[in-house]
Chains A and B, each alone.
Chain A
Amino acid sequence: MYGNKLRKPDHLFLQILQWILFLIIISICYLAETSGSYLKPLLLLPLALCIASHTGELQAMAVGAVCGLLLDLACGKLLGFNAFLLVIGCVLVSLLYRYFLRQKLINMLLLTAVCALIQGGLDYVLYYALWGYEDVFLIWQKIIFPSCLMTIVSSVFFYFIIKKIAETCGSRRINQLEKAIVSEYQE
């Protein structure tokens, strides 16, 4: 699954280093989410998806759960709401990258857009539209949709950072389809 040519202890050290770096980035994003009263992107969402695209399904699940719970705390949502969505999203992203997708920016942009719009849509329906507030569409128009757009744009930044960390730490994944083609060609 992983294309690494390093000795085992070196590889372990790099893997630990990689997860420490991921945790530091997650912490910084959480702090950024809870600072200031201005409109901002949900940074933890594209970050979790980018990490998931470089890891196995179980690691992706753990990252989704952690980032989702932090997002719940930052956004004042029901504990587990975003975690539930992100666990599903991260596991699916991890599977998609294992079997079908390649590490391309456009793929990550599309996946982030789908996840951000689903998350934003559910947030809008469950937290605002269902309660029948007057002029409720303004919340979608002026807060949730712009935030979704910012989230999608922010995924560009995370795509390159996480890709660089994953490649440096030797956990670049080769997708199954690519692997099958390469092995067939070699044979």
Chain B
Amino acid sequence: MLNFLKSGKCKAVLWVLALLIGLMLYAVFVGGYTISSVGVFKAIAAPFQKLSNSISQHVEYGLDLYRNAEDYSEENKALRKEINLLHTELADYEATKEELERLQAFVGIKEKHEDYSMTSPFDVTGYVTNDPFCAFMIDGGSDDGISLYDPVVSDMGLVGVITELGTHTATVTTILSPELSVAAGTRASKERGILTGSVSLAMEGLCKLQYLEKDVVLKKDKIILTTGENGLFPAGYVIGYVRETGMDDTGLTGYAAVEPASDLKNLSLVVVITDFSGKADSDDVRE
């Protein structure tokens, strides 16, 4: 063993370790692994990742069907009941919609979300291994017009923000992460707070709407939207639904556990919002 310590091999190992420390320091200064050579590697690996990801999704789907057949049968029955209920509600909805359209034409309100600049949909190339907050990678990068901290959405609702950016790939941190804070609430001006991730809730696929006023009572299934106050996210975009409510440990404010509208564990396509009215500068966002 002592021979090894005196040999050139040992020096070579020490050189490589020094090189890796240098690499880590460099990666820290440029922010994550946004190093161009790594971006090229990830771009090469992306099609293979997509292939293996689709294989694993099929396997997961098959296993899931086999394991949860009974649950699905029950869920099917419950959904049939819900469909009947929704059919009756649909008639009311149509009448309301007609009235709304007349009002829209009357006051000349702009079409919903007309201020958004969006990219074309990007494929989810893979999830970050064993990340408790479901971070994932997409096959779009700075060459596609994406910038750091741009909001990422699915057709169902808000998903997260871009936190690491390469030329052809980007990593998305989801709303389950405690690193992310979103100004959110219901349409009512009083029912507002800050939506952030919590470790215990993230394990159940939920996030936390905190700092709600003490007397605010949020009903289950109430829709939570972005309020756009911090300039990071556009206002009025669906985040999710209230699942449970409670008081914080201090007893001064309330909180609500919110289930994201998007299924964050099984995303396949997402869109990045590159610009919207009220967007903050990226330096402000970073702060």
Chain A positions near chain B (C-beta within 8 angstroms): 27, 30-40, 42, 56-58, 61, 65, 68, 71-76, 78-81, 83-84, 87-88, 91, 95, 99, 128, 131, 133-136, 138-139, 142-144, 147
**A35 contacts B200, C-beta separation under 8 Å:** no
In the complex formed, the residue of B with least CB distance to A142 is B203
In the assembled complex, 29 residue pairs joining A and B whose CB atoms fall closer than 8 Å, in A order, are A31-B49, A33-B129, A34-B49, A34-B52, A35-B49, A35-B53, A36-B53, A36-B56, A37-B134, A37-B265, A42-B129, A42-B130, A58-B9, A72-B33, A75-B130, A76-B33, A76-B129, A76-B131, A78-B32, A78-B33, A79-B23, A80-B20, A80-B23, A80-B24, A80-B27, A84-B21, A87-B16, A144-B130, A147-B130
The size bracket of the interface on B is 35 or more
Q: How far is the CA of A138 from the CA of B10 in the complex (A)?
A: 40
Main secondary structure of the interface of B (DSSP, over half): helix
Main secondary structure of the interface of A (DSSP, over half): helix
**A79 contacts B33, C-beta separation under 8 Å:** yes
Q: Which 5 A-B pairs have the closest CB atoms?
A: A80-B24, A34-B126, A76-B128, A35-B56, A36-B56
**A84 contacts B24, C-beta separation under 8 Å:** yes
Evaluate whether A139 and B20 lie within 8 angstroms (CB atoms) in the complex, with A79-B35, A79-B38 already known: no
Q: How far is the CA of A79 from the CA of B132 in the complex (A)?
A: 19
Residues from chain A with a CB closer than 8 A to the CB of B28 are 78
Q: B178 interface residue, CB < 8 Å from A?
A: yes
Select one of A27, A65, A99 contacting B1, CB under 8 A.
A99
Chain B's nearest CB lies how many Å from the CB of A139?
Answer: 5
Q: Mark B197-239, 1 if CB is under 8 A from A, else 0.
A: 0111001000000000000000000000000000000000000
